[in-house]
């Protein structure tokens, strides 16, 4: 973690512009960090909602594929998760049928 301190200048106008620059630099760094954090998020397991978005299907259709066609899932208590890798294999297997 880093701490930035605004430089102290003698002239009030210089101080205002310096604070503005300092705040702008902080905002730029925080945006860069947020973008970096978002880029690193590649979940190994998807929620049903994420699978819906990936396949452009509704929730009901996803559950129908699970129950009727064997879409592979992982259960953690009441939580249902789908592996993107297993989903890809399952889709390829459906193409060959």
3-state secondary structure of 24: helix
Specify the higher pLDDT residue, 41 or 68: 68
What does the pLDDT average to over 1-26? 54
CA dist., res. 26 & res. 30, Å (int) = 6
Reported confidence tier of residue 33, pLDDT bands at 50, 70, 90: low
CA dist., res. 31 & res. 37, Å (int) = 10
Which of these, 96, 69, 71, lies nearest to 81 by C-alpha position?
Answer: 71
Q: Are 72 and 87 in contact (CB under 8 A)?
A: yes
Q: Express each pLDDT in 50-97 by its tens digit.
A: 999 999 999 999 999 999 999 999 999 999 999 999 999 999 988 887
């Amino acid at each position: 973690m880093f701490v930035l301190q605004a430089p102290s200048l003698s002239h009030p106008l210089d101080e205002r512009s310096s604070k503005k620059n300092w705040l702008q630099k902080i905002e730029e760094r925080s945006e860069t960090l947020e973008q970096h954090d978002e880029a690193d998020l590649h979940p190994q397991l998807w929620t049903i909602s994420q699978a819906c978005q990936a396949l452009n299907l509704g929730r009901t259709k996803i559950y129908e594929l699970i129950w009727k066609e064997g879409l592979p899932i992982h259960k953690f208590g009441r939580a249902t998760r789908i592996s993107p890798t297993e989903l890809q294999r399952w889709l390829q297997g459906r193409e060959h049928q």
